Amino acid sequence: MRIIKIFKITLSSIFTIFITSQAFSAENMGAAHPWGLNLREAFSPVMAEMVSFHNWLIWLITIISLFVLVLLFIIIFKFNTKANPKPTKTTHNTFLEIAWTAIPVLILVIMAVPSFKLLYKADVIPEAHMTVKAIGHQWYWSYEYPDHGNFTYDAWMVSDAEEIEGQDRPYTRLLTTDTRVVVPVGKVIKVQVTATDVLHSWAVPSLGVKKDAMPGRLNELWFQADREGIFYGQCSELCGTNHGYMPIEVHAVSEEEFLAWIEEAKENYAKVGEDLNLAKVKE
């Protein structure tokens, strides 16, 4: 019975990978799900392209692997000592050697063209609607909204569902933060990424973004959330003890909701350079 169950799971996994493009819940969330397979659901045009490029490569890899497997079986069965007691003395075949060099090169070129196109698309920031600055710290993120009053706030991981009780958002273990990054849906958002202490990395898989946060350097990335939803991410550069506990929670909301949040945030959060909780040097 157990074997049948394992067989069923394996079979359904294979079908999930090859037949459905995505295996995710309808909760409209950029988070991993129990028994989820494949890449994270795409919520941005770049991620959508990454997913389809990945799926296309899977097919290509499968065809190549099957071809090699067939060749291996031909060798094993047709050219073993029993079946082929007198091996041929042929050592070189110019045509074959050119072919098995040129064809893989050609395959690599075919793969490289869409790959570079996508890399370029992800790298070059289109005209941005607004900028968010993400700053990595050991071990939390802080954010600044330079285009909307230049306020700043910290985002720490929430370790208990009770901490966000009464708020209209789900609690996701190790991924929910006390404050959120809120952005308008459908707009190009530029994120400037940096750090104050060690290397961190701001990564949100469902938006297809990941960029190192380095002290003294300003990196940039962009995304455009094409649907409203919550997208989770995590620090993706090993940065110390609590590296796994500095998640990212991005909410893409309607323009009205975003503006309402901005007004609230201006009230609640400090302005960059003012009222910051800097340690006092002299008492």
Give me the residues that bind Cu ion (CB under 5 A), please: 200, 235, 239
* Amino acid letter, residue 72: L
**CA–CA distance from 89 to each of 86, 93, 100 (Å)?**
9, 12, 20
Q: What is the C-alpha separation between 283 and 272, in angstroms, rounded?
A: 23
- Cβ proximity to Cu ion, 17 vs 199, nearer residue: 199
Pairing of strands 130-137, 181-184: unpaired
Identity of the residue, 51 or 239, whose beta carbon is nearer to Cu ion in the bound complex: 239
Determine how many CB atoms are found less than 10 A away from the CB of residue 241: 8
Phi, psi dihedrals of residue 237, rounded to the nearest 5°: -135, 125
Question: Least separation, in Å, of the C-beta of 247 and Cu ion?
Answer: 10
CA distances (Å), origin 137, targets 131, 213, 239: 19, 9, 9
Phi, psi of 186 (to 5 degrees): 75, 5
- Contact between 210 and 220 under an 8 Å Cβ cutoff? The reply is no
In the complex with Cu ion, the residue whose CB is nearer, 200 or 251, is 200
Do the Cβ atoms of 191 and 223 come closer than 8 Å? yes
Between residues 181 and 185, which has the closer beta carbon with respect to Cu ion? 181
In sign, the C-alpha dihedral spanning 245, 218, 189, 264 is positive
In the complex with Cu ion, which residue's Cβ is closer, 152 or 236? 236
State the minimum distance, in angstroms, from the CB of residue 246 to Cu ion: 5
Q: Report the residue number, 38 or 179, with the smaller CB distance to Cu ion.
A: 179
